[in-house]
Chain A
């Protein structure tokens, strides 16, 4: 009990920080997309348009919270909560600095993978419970996409685990003191980045929502804050994947001169920007291209990466 109480400030701090950041990310994404498309983006409300977030929040809370009469009510209401809960749970294992981590699990990486798999339920259930053909199609696509990208997402991280010899994220960061894993695990990094994109359903892998074909995919029937929760969930997912890339491949909090937290957020921020840049630059894949790419290119690459890393680790440190 006492231990839980001592963790409470950290839990509250992490929770506040990531939710605030995910709200700010909406503004950041719109501004950055604007700059990359040679326009300004929202710059009217407050300094640099920063209060746009507040305006959007007020607006979305005022919206009518409508559940369609043909929907499966209980599931329809639960679905958006699932995505938020699972993504926020994943943040529990992310080591922001050596001392700031909510739960220092010895299977932290597995916990993260499990939670990101669970978030697929949110999308599938939302699509199914909406009782709308476009939503159902979106849900179906999401389940297929999550299923196929989950596989090599996990496999791409096993190289890192082998090099560290631990599933604990803190240990993984510590193991990168001399060399960030993005160099020995360059293939793993690229595969994880692509899988992360697919996991967060971002362009070019946003086919579950694919507004050009499916209206809005799985969240077609959602409005008000339920719709907002899907979006907060998506932005939380971006922060989470960026944070995980930082932790797993770019040395987490490590870096000279600056305090650990600053290093962590600088690196994470750069990856968030990369996610937005990819959205600005790339078109959406076709569904069959997505599946072919996943199963025929990424999965074999992940396996090769796994095998080669395993062989090298064996040569370097033969098992006692």
Chain B
């Protein structure tokens, strides 16, 4: 009986503690920087698309919500002709971001993407592309990789040794 009264008293005392509720639309909650929210496609510091259309995100996606078609420009640089993410399927697991070799696909802290129409949740490439670099400001895939594109030959990347002359016998 005394325990019951104690419990009731304890509950009564809670009237004087501050509610833990965050009144969401008025007060925005703190989100950690690595929050897995809306997916974006970033650009490299030169303003070019980072995505090289390797399909790794699409493969890694457990719910198959990413679809794209890779193509090449006149410089031999790969990019996606179209890139589509169906956010009505996306589970925001972040595997696409982990799989991406060029830091192109990234998850952001935005989660307010409600729509009245389900079809509006299918984001096309122009919806996904942002103008900035996202989480990795200095990174430019073609400048650090050995892939040859127009205007950058083999051996011209950062910290890349010159290619070995196969016809020479000298070490």
User: Chain A's nearest CB lies how many Å from the CB of B17?
Assistant: 6
Interface size on B, residues (CB 8 A): 14
Are the CB atoms of A39 and B7 closer together than 8 Å? no
Q: Once bound together, how far apart are the Cα atoms of A278 and B11, in whole Å?
A: 9
User: Chain A's nearest CB lies how many Å from the CB of B29?
Assistant: 15
Interface of A is mostly: helix
Are the CB atoms of B4 and A39 closer together than 8 Å? no
Chain B neighbourhood of A38, CB < 8 A: 14, 17-21
Are the CB atoms of B8 and A282 closer together than 8 Å? yes
| In the complex, B161 has a CB within 8 A of chain A | no
Are the CB atoms of A282 and B4 closer together than 8 Å? yes
Chain B neighbourhood of A11, CB < 8 A: none
Are the CB atoms of A277 and B21 closer together than 8 Å? no
Q: Once bound together, how far apart are the Cα atoms of A61 and B7, in whole Å?
A: 38
Mark A10-22 against chain B: 1 for CB-CB distance below 8 A, else 0. 0000000000000
Chain B neighbourhood of A277, CB < 8 A: 8, 11-12
Q: Once bound together, how far apart are the Cα atoms of A280 and B19, in whole Å?
A: 15
| In the complex, A162 has a CB within 8 A of chain B | no
Q: Once bound together, how far apart are the Cα atoms of A34 and B17, in whole Å?
A: 11
Chain A neighbourhood of B14, CB < 8 A: 35-38
Are the CB atoms of B19 and A281 closer together than 8 Å? no
| In the complex, A40 has a CB within 8 A of chain B | yes
Mark A40-54 against chain B: 1 for CB-CB distance below 8 A, else 0. 100000000000000
| Residues of chain A at the chain B interface (Cβ within 8 Å) | 32, 34-40, 277-278, 280-282
8 extra A-B contacts, CB within 8 A, seeds A35-B15, A281-B11:
A32-B15, A34-B19, A35-B14, A36-B14, A37-B14, A39-B21, A277-B11, A281-B10
| Residues of chain B at the chain A interface (Cβ within 8 Å) | 4, 7-8, 10-12, 14-15, 17-21, 23
